[in-house]
A and B are shown apart, each in its own frame.
Chain A
Amino acid sequence: MIPLYGFLEGDTVGLLVLADGDDSVAEIARKLQTAARLRVAIEGPVTVLYDGKPVDPLTTVSDAGMQPLTRFDVRRRPPA
């Protein structure tokens, strides 16, 4: 179990997200959006940032190098 601090764009607080190492980055983005849905709903595609850089949504938390108790962000993906 990898505890992460998740920040959803538009939200007012960071949330604790418990990830498995083999969770995809898209999965932890979904967990965060579910946890924050009382306050924020992002319609459409999102981008996950780790260490300030975009991360491939299909990669796993472990492969993305996400360390316990670090921050990731989920943001609206700007229109292409």
Chain B
Amino acid sequence: MLKRDEWLDLARKLDWELSYVSEKDAFPEVQSGRPWLPHAAWAGWDEPFRTSYPEYVAGQHAKEASVAAVREAVGRVEDYQRLPQGWLEGLKLHAAMLPLAEFAAVVGNLRAARFGRDSAWRSAALLGALDEMRHTQIPLLLMHDLVRWDPQFDWTHKLFHTNNWVAIAARHLSDELLLASDAIEFAIATNFVFETGFTNVQFVGLSALAHGVGDKMFEKMVGSIQSDEARHAQIGAPVLAMVAKHDRPYAQYLLDKWFWRSWLLFAVVTGFSMDYLTPLEHRQSSFKEFMHEWVLDQFLRSLDEFGLERPWYWDIFLEGLDNYHHMVYASAYSYRASVWFNFVVPGPRERAWLAEKYPASWPDLDPVWQRITDRWRAADPGNDFAVHGTAIVSFCDLCQLVLSNGTPRANTANTLDHGGQRYVFCSRPCRWIFEQEPDRYAGHKDVVKRVLAGEAPANLVGLVQRYFGLDYETWGKDAFRGEYPWLDRRRA
């Protein structure tokens, strides 16, 4: 009987010479990506896991059994009911953002499993597709049990099927990243930048916080997902190395583009949880500190390894680390009825912690929370709309998120006329991404343009109910109805 290493490459690295069609027809650039190189150039491609299918099935079976055991032990509604309120709101946010994006990643992986330029790459991507199917199913299964208790958890499945502004932004990103990218762009954008670069913030950082608050189910779920991601993310580096070798400017472009797009998403999703929704006593470090420890150091080392430069907007990004998620959170708090989870007002202790962690930016952000606090002090508990915005906010024509980049003193939104249309961007990097491939983005309408075109209601309540898909039961509220122990209404 052959030993494993004697037969393995017959299964996972088996390429053959084509005779009925040309290699270019079998692997067209539009699907395989560029630079288009003959297979001989890719023949040395490999990744370190070298997983066989039987090993994959056995490993995944064990992981599934482990998740099921934890669910059996601590996955009941009453287990979640014991968790801190703010943490539960972060859970709703993550639960909704995760599964259908993972489902889109199935498609991206399957494209690579067909059009990746080496069979070892295709084999790894096929297992990646199976991984992502699992990552779709786990949160859908776990959160389904909670819907009867709290209908906001229904958005775990619902979000991506709505025209909620967060869904529009999430689809704009995931459609391009996961559904529309060719195999090379998918490998660099998803496997390298997104999975290797950013998901540690989720899988390490948030997992540690979940452990701290006692959410064993979330900790188990992300740990289980991470073990898959760690494997299929390995596709990214050898593809990037090949592209950097043959077309360095394009490799740099893909890195710059996807680092920025990924950053905006993680800033909102993870930044909210780490700096606002996790109770203060369970926070270990700030989102910015996590980013430095788990993303930036490793990312910059990787750039050196491939002979690439840090993105041209690095200083803008560093300023964003101090500001962006704070600006979006304060804005989203004041329009919380437009999303499916609830928000927490940072109290005096939280604001002192934020001032310590963000000394460069917090002095300009704190007055916003003082205003909101004063408004709650003057309002009756539970009267959410007394402490809620009424105007329509504006959205970026690239990332589709709110125009909250820059600082409170100097918002970086800017406009561009292109093809007879006017576009607005939250930042120079978003504008730059648009300008590189305007035909790819120009036809997409942001929420404001949908309102102006008569496709969406112009008043906020109509927009929330009829377009964003929310109702009184599900729209976001203040998680504590404005009844905070530190809020002394007698001073009103």
A and B interact physically: yes
Interface of A with B (CB < 8 Å)?
3, 5, 7, 9-17, 35-41, 67-71
- Which residues from B are CB-within-8-Å of A5? 394, 403, 413, 415, 424
Report yes or no: B424 in contact with A10, Cβ–Cβ below 8 A.
no
Residue among B391, B392, B404 facing the most chain A CB atoms (10 A cut-off): B391
Report yes or no: B394 in contact with A10, Cβ–Cβ below 8 A.
no
Closest to A73 in B: B411
The 9 closest A-B pairs by CB, nearest first: A35-B391, A14-B403, A13-B331, A12-B327, A12-B330, A69-B422, A16-B392, A14-B394, A39-B368
- Which residues from A are CB-within-8-Å of B365? 12
Report yes or no: A3 in contact with B327, Cβ–Cβ below 8 A.
no
Report yes or no: A13 in contact with B415, Cβ–Cβ below 8 A.
no
A73 to B326, CA, bound (A): 21
- Which residues from A are CB-within-8-Å of B100? none
Report yes or no: A71 in contact with B415, Cβ–Cβ below 8 A.
yes
Closest to B391 in A: A35
Q: Closest CB-CB distance, A1 to chain B, in whole Å?
A: 9
Q: Closest CB-CB distance, A51 to chain B, in whole Å?
A: 10
- Which residues from B are CB-within-8-Å of A11? 368, 408, 411
Which residues 322-353 of B sit at the A interface, judged by CB distance below 8 A?
326-328, 330-331, 334
Partner of B408, one of A12, A15, A41, A68: A12
Q: Closest CB-CB distance, B362 to chain A, in whole Å?
A: 13
- Which residues from A are CB-within-8-Å of B413? 5, 7, 14, 71
Closest to B369 in A: A39
Closest to B390 in A: A35
Report yes or no: A12 in contact with B392, Cβ–Cβ below 8 A.
no
- Which residues from A are CB-within-8-Å of B394? 5, 13-16
Q: Closest CB-CB distance, A50 to chain B, in whole Å?
A: 12
A14 to B388, CA, bound (A): 16
Closest to B386 in A: A38
Report yes or no: B330 in contact with A39, Cβ–Cβ below 8 A.
yes
Q: Closest CB-CB distance, B50 to chain A, in whole Å?
A: 48
- Which residues from B are CB-within-8-Å of A70? 415, 422
- Which residues from A are CB-within-8-Å of B420? none
Residue among A10, A13, A69 facing the most chain B CB atoms (10 A cut-off): A13
Report yes or no: B414 in contact with A71, Cβ–Cβ below 8 A.
yes
Report yes or no: B389 in contact with A12, Cβ–Cβ below 8 A.
no
Closest to B332 in A: A13
Residue among A15, A17, A67, A70 facing the most chain B CB atoms (10 A cut-off): A15
- Which residues from B are CB-within-8-Å of A39? 330-331, 334, 368, 371-372, 389
Instruction: Judge if B442 is at the interface, Cβ distance under 8 Å.
Output: no
Report yes or no: B331 in contact with A35, Cβ–Cβ below 8 A.
no
Report yes or no: A38 in contact with B388, Cβ–Cβ below 8 A.
yes
Q: Closest CB-CB distance, A37 to chain B, in whole Å?
A: 8
Instruction: Judge if B393 is at the interface, Cβ distance under 8 Å.
Output: yes
Interface of B with A (CB < 8 Å)?
326-328, 330-331, 334, 364-365, 367-368, 371-372, 375, 387-394, 402-404, 408-409, 411, 413-415, 422, 424, 448, 451-452
Report yes or no: B424 in contact with A41, Cβ–Cβ below 8 A.
no
- Which residues from A are CB-within-8-Å of B414? 71
Given A5-B413, A12-B408, A16-B393, 12 further pairs, Cβ under 8 A: A3-B452, A5-B424, A7-B403, A11-B411, A12-B368, A13-B402, A14-B403, A14-B413, A35-B389, A37-B371, A39-B334, A41-B371
Report yes or no: A69 in contact with B415, Cβ–Cβ below 8 A.
yes
A41 to B424, CA, bound (A): 25
- Which residues from A are CB-within-8-Å of B387? 38
Q: Closest CB-CB distance, B227 to chain A, in whole Å?
A: 38
- Which residues from A are CB-within-8-Å of B328? 12-13
- Which residues from A are CB-within-8-Å of B393? 13-16
A70 to B439, CA, bound (A): 22
A9 to B367, CA, bound (A): 12
Q: Closest CB-CB distance, A4 to chain B, in whole Å?
A: 9
Q: Closest CB-CB distance, A23 to chain B, in whole Å?
A: 15
A37 to B378, CA, bound (A): 14
Closest to B403 in A: A14
Closest to B397 in A: A69
- Which residues from B are CB-within-8-Å of A17? 391
A45 to B350, CA, bound (A): 33
Known: A14-B413, A41-B371. A68 touches B392 (CB 8 A): no
- Which residues from A are CB-within-8-Å of B367? 10, 40
Partner of B424, one of A36, A67, A69: A69
- Which residues from A are CB-within-8-Å of B391? 15-17, 35-36
Pull 17 A–B residue pairs with CB atoms less than 8 Å apart, ordered by A.
A5-B403, A9-B409, A10-B364, A10-B409, A11-B368, A12-B327, A12-B365, A13-B402, A13-B403, A14-B394, A16-B448, A35-B389, A38-B389, A40-B371, A41-B371, A67-B422, A70-B415
Report yes or no: A9 in contact with B390, Cβ–Cβ below 8 A.
no
- Which residues from B are CB-within-8-Å of A68? 422
Q: Closest CB-CB distance, B358 to chain A, in whole Å?
A: 14
Report yes or no: B409 in contact with A38, Cβ–Cβ below 8 A.
no
Q: Closest CB-CB distance, B88 to chain A, in whole Å?
A: 25
Q: Closest CB-CB distance, B34 to chain A, in whole Å?
A: 35
